[in-house]
Amino acid sequence: MNTFSTTFCRVIDMKDWSSINELCDIVRETSFAIHCYLRSGHLEKVYENALAHRLRLRGLSVEQQFPLNVFDEDGTALGVYYADLFVEGCLIIELKAARGVDNEHIAQLLGYLRSSKVETGLLINFGSSRLYVKKFLMTDVDNL
C-alpha cells in the first residue's frame, strides 16, 4: 500500500483539508497525464476506467459507479445516484467527455455532494482539447 493512502480520509466527516487538497492534486495530475496520452474523443467510460486504474496503481482506494442514496426529509428512499468514482472514501469524482461543461454537469455533482454529505467533489471533463478540472465543496451546495 502506498504511503499516501494512510494520510487520506477513509471516513466521510474527514476535516484534514491538507490531505484532501493533496488527494485532489494527485487526481488532477493523473487526469492531466491521461488527457495527454488519450486526448479527447473517447467515451466517458474509457476515461473512468483509465483514471480508476491509474489511481489504484498509486495505491489509492477507488470505487467505480458508487451508489449514493437519495432520501426524502422523512427518511423515505427516493432513488440512487451513481457517482463515477469515489476515492479514498472522501472524494466524489464526476467525469464528462463533453465538448464543454454545462450548468447541468455542475448541478449533478452538487446534487451528489448534497445527497451523500461528502465534503469534496471534482468535476473533470476530458472531452475538449483542454482538460477541465474544478473542485466543489459542500459549502458551494449550502450557498445555493
Q: What is the pLDDT along the chain (144 residues), one digit of tens a residue?
A: 333 433 444 443 444 668 999 999 999 999 999 999 999 999 999 999 999 999 999 999 999 999 999 888 898 999 999 999 999 999 999 999 999 999 999 999 999 999 888 999 999 999 999 999 999 998 866 665
Q: Taking the mean position of all CA atoms in its chain, how far away is CA 22? A: 14
Residue 109 · residue 95 · CB < 8 Å: no
What is the pLDDT at residue 16? 66
Phi, psi of 38, rounded to the nearest 5 degrees: -85, -25
Going from N- to C-terminal start, the domains of the chain cover: 10-142
What is the pLDDT at residue 92? 98
Question: What cell numbers appear for 131 in the block?
Answer: 482538460
